Amino acid sequence: MDATPFFDQNCTQCPRLHQFLVEVKDLHPNYYARPVAAFGDVDPQLLIVGLAPGMHGANATGRPFTGDYAGLLLYEALYEFGYSNQINSESLSDGLILKKCRITNAVKCLPPQNKPLGKEIIQCNSFLAAELNILAEKAIILALGTVAHQAVLRAYDLKQSNAKFAHKAKHALPGGRTLIDSYHTSRYNIQTKRLTRNMFFDVFRSINELMSN
C-alpha cells in the first residue's frame, strides 16, 4: 500500500474510534484494525471517496473496499472501465493494481455500527483535504454517498447548500476539478436496488466523458 506522507496510521485523535479499534483487535487479532490509508495511483485522474472502512473489509485487510460486499461492484466497475488490472479485490497480496485511480475514505477508521459521529468526520477531514490538495487540475472526485459528498465540500471549505448530493450529479470544484455523486455501493443499496449495476456504470460513463473533454 502506498500511504501518503500526510497520513498517520497511528492516529488516535478520535477516542471513541481508537477504543473501538482496540476492542476489535482483541476480538480479531489477525485484522488490520488501524486507520486505513488510501490505495492506488499516486497521481490519479480519479479519486474515489467512500464513507469509512468496513468491519470485515478494509478494517480486516488494510485496503479500502477490499474483502467486503461494498467492494464487489466498485472493483468490477474499475476493471470494466480500465482503472484496474483485475475484477476482484480480496487481500493485500492479490496483485491488484489501480491505474489513474485512487481510493480513500472520508473517515479512515472503522466506526461502531458503520456510523461515524459528526465530530469524527470533521476531525478526519484534514487528511482528506490533504489528499484533495495534491490532485491534478481537472481531476475527478467520485463521492460514494452523502457523507463522502459532504466531506469533500468541507475539505474545500464550500457550503453544503451550494452543491446538494444527488446520484450522478456533477459539481464544479476549485482547480478545475469535478465532483460526481453516486449512491454508495453498500449491500443495502444494491439489494434494495437503490443502486443497480447499470446505474453505477452510467456514473463511470459520465466520468469517462468528462475525461475525454
- The per-residue pLDDT for range 100-136, each reduced to its tens digit, is 999 999 999 999 999 999 999 999 999 999 999 999 9
Taking 70 as the threshold, does the pLDDT of residue 49 lie above it? yes
Report which of residues 8 and 20 the model is more confident about. 20
Are β-strands 170-172 and 178-182 bridged in parallel, bridged antiparallel, or unpaired?
A: antiparallel
Confidence of residue 8 (pLDDT cuts 50, 70, 90): confident
Share of the chain above pLDDT 70, in %: 97
Query: How far apart, in whole angstroms, are the C-alpha atoms of residue 55 and residue 28?
Result: 10
- The mean of the pLDDT values for the chain is 95
Q: What are the residue boundaries of the structural domains of the chain, listed by start?
A: 15-212
Q: Judge contact between 32 and 108, C-beta under 8 A.
A: no
Q: What is the pLDDT of residue 3?
A: 47
Q: What is the pLDDT of residue 1?
A: 41
Q: What is the pLDDT of residue 126?
A: 94
Query: How far apart, in whole angstroms, are the C-alpha atoms of residue 87 and residue 76?
Result: 5
Query: How far apart, in whole angstroms, are the C-alpha atoms of residue 181 and residue 167?
Result: 5
Confidence of residue 7 (pLDDT cuts 50, 70, 90): confident
CATH class of the 15-212 domain in this structure: alpha beta
User: How far does Cα 211 stand from its chain's mean position?
Assistant: 20
Q: What is the pLDDT of residue 121?
A: 97
Q: Which residue matches cell numbers 459539481?
A: 171
Q: What is the pLDDT of residue 162?
A: 83
Tell me the residue length of the chain.
213
**CB-based contacts of 100: which residues, under 8 Å, 6+ apart?**
41, 44, 45, 46, 83
Task: Report the chain's C-alpha Rg in angstroms.
Answer: 16
Taking 80 as the threshold, does the pLDDT of residue 5 lie above it? no
Q: What is the DSSP letter of 104?
A: E
Q: Judge contact between 91 and 67, C-beta under 8 A.
A: yes
Taking 80 as the threshold, does the pLDDT of residue 56 lie above it? yes
130-180 per-position pLDDT tens digit: 999 999 999 999 999 999 999 999 999 999 888 999 999 999 999 899 999
Taking 90 as the threshold, does the pLDDT of residue 208 lie above it? yes
- Nearest-5° angle of CA 195, CA 110, CA 122? 85
